[in-house]
Amino acid sequence: MARETTLPISLADTRDRVKMWAFEEDVETEAMAQLRRISELPWVHGVRVMPDVHVGKGATIGSVIAMNQAVSPSAVGVDIGCGVAAVRTSIRADQLADLHLLRSRIEASIPVGFNAHEELPDLRRYGMETGVLDLFNRFETLDEKVQPLKTRAVKQLGTLGGGNHFLELCLDQEDRVWITLHSGSRNIGKTLADRHISIAKSLGHNQGLVDKELAVFIEGTPQMDAYKHDLWWAQEFAAHSRALMLGLFKEQVAKHFAGLEVSFDAPINVHHNYVREEVIDGQTLLVTRKGAIRAGAGDLALIPGSMGTGSYIVRGRGNPSSYFSASHGAGRRMSRTQAKKNFTEQDLAAQTLGIECRKDAGVLDEIPAAYKDIHQVIEAQKDLVEVVGHLRTILCVKG
C-alpha cells in the first residue's frame, strides 16, 4: 500500500513540511538527517520523499524540494538533467536473434564511459539538426569557465557515460521489445554544476548554514539568473543527448533486424534530476526533483530497477500531495563500495542470468542486489502512478 507519512521532526515549524512514501525505519539514518536539514532551510515550502530514497551528495536522492524564490545547486546535483528515455518497437520476442552481436553493435555506435564520438553523428538522420545547432549556438552565453569545453561537449552529445547509466533492450508483458536508456549531461553538466555550487557556497547569506552543501541562490540576484540560465541549457543538452542515443540505438536495432519492417512508437524522454517552475499549493515555486520524476495526471514515464529486474512504464496520477512526483527508480540500498565488498563476479553472473550484459568486476557495483526491490518501490506509490507495464531486461549496456 502507499506509505504517505509525515516525518517526525522535532521542530514544530518544519513538522508539516515533509511527507514520505517510505517508512522511516527503512531509510538510512544519514538520509533522515539530510531530509531534516533540507526541511529546515528558511526558503523551503516543503519536501516530498519517494520510496527509493537514499543518501546523496548535497541532497537526498529520491526527494522533491519546493523552494520559494530560491534553489540549491548542490541539491540539483552535478548530473543536471539526468533522466531516462524509452520507446516500444514492433519486434516480438520470437523474432529476437544473436543478442551478443546486437550488444556489440550498440557499444560500437554509442560511446560509453569516458569515451565520446570522434565526430558528432549526422543529426539530419534523426531530425535533430535545428534543435542541436540552436543549443550549441548559445554555448557562448554559458559561464566563462566552461568556454574551453565546447568541442568536448559537442562530441559527448549522444554518449552514455558510466555509473548507473544504461542502454537496455526489454520485453513487456505482451512480449514486445522496448528500447530504454538512462543518461545525463556528461562533463559539461558536471562542470557547470561545480562552478555554480562553488559560487553559492561563497555567498554571504549561506555562511550560517549547518550544511554548506545546501547553499542557495536567491531570486532576483545576478548569481541566480546566471545559474538558471546555465541550468536550463544543461537540462536541454541532456534531453537532446538522450534523443540522439535513441536515434542511434533504433538505427542499430533496425539494421540488426533488417529482414523485418521494424517500426517504433513515440518516445518517452523525462528528466529525474532537474528544476522546474511549478504551481504548488497555489504558489509559483522552484521545484527540484533530485532522483524523482514528474507524475502529473497522464504523464508517461519510465521507472527503472536494476540491470536484473527491469523497469516499469507508468502514468502519473497527478497527486498534489507528492507535488505531482514519483520515484525515479529502485534506489540503492548499499553504496558502490559496499557492493564491491559484499559480492563477487560469480554473484553478478548469477543475478543477471539470461541477460546479455557485462558480468565483470568493472560493473560489480551495479549488481542487482545493491538496489532496492523495484516491485516494492512501485507498490509503495500506487497513489502516485498507475502501472502501464513491466519491462523485463534481456540486454544491458553499461559504461
Q: Which pLDDT belongs to residue 309?
A: 86
pLDDT at 24: 86
Query: Does residue 47 register a pLDDT over 50?
Result: yes
Strand spans (E) along the chain: 4-6, 18-21, 44-54, 61-67, 70-71, 83-92, 166-171, 176-183, 217-218, 268-271, 273-280, 283-290, 292-294, 300-304, 311-316, 325-327, 385-398
Q: Residues marked as binding?
A: 79, 164-168, 182, 272-273, 304-307, 311, 328-331, 398
Q: What range does the domain containing 86 cover?
A: 4-294
Residue from 54, 240, 328, 390 carrying the catalytic annotation: 328
The answer as to whether 245 is a domain residue is yes
Instruction: Please give the DSSP secondary-structure letter assigned to residue 220.
Output: T
Do the domain assignments include residue 163?
yes
Binding-site residue numbers for Mn(2+) are: 79, 165, 182, 272
Nearest-angstrom CA–CA distance, 115 and 223: 33
In a domain, 385, yes or no: no
Taking only the tens place, the pLDDT of each residue in 347-385 is: 999 999 999 999 999 999 999 999 999 999 999 999 999
The reply to whether 340 falls in a domain is no
**For all residues of the chain together, what is the average pLDDT?**
94
Round to whole Å and give the CA distance between 39 and 52.
18
* pLDDT tens per residue, range 214-268: 999 999 999 999 999 999 999 999 999 999 999 999 999 999 999 999 999 999 9
The pLDDT score that the predictor gives to residue 103 is 98
pLDDT at 2: 46
Residue in 276, 319, 327 with CA at minimum distance from that of residue 61: 327
Q: Say if 373 falls within a structural domain.
A: no
Our count of domains for the chain comes to 1
- What CATH number has the domain bearing residue 188? 3.90.1860.10
Residue 333, domain member (yes or no): no
Look at residue 363 and tell me if it is in a domain.
Answer: no
- Which pLDDT tens digit goes with each residue over 324-335? 999 999 999 999
* Interval 193-214 mean pLDDT: 95
Q: What is the model's pTM? A: 0.94
Mean pLDDT over 17-46 rounds to 93
Residue 303 is predicted with a pLDDT of 98
Residues 6+ apart with CB under 8 A from 66: 44, 45, 46, 47, 48, 278, 280, 285, 286, 287, 288, 323
Question: Percent of the chain scored above 90 by pLDDT?
Answer: 92
260-314 pLDDT tens trace: 999 999 999 999 999 999 999 999 999 999 999 999 999 999 999 998 789 999 9
> Is residue 64 in a domain?
yes
Would you state the cell numbers that stand for residue 114, as one nine-digit string? 569516458
- Catalytic, 205? Answer no
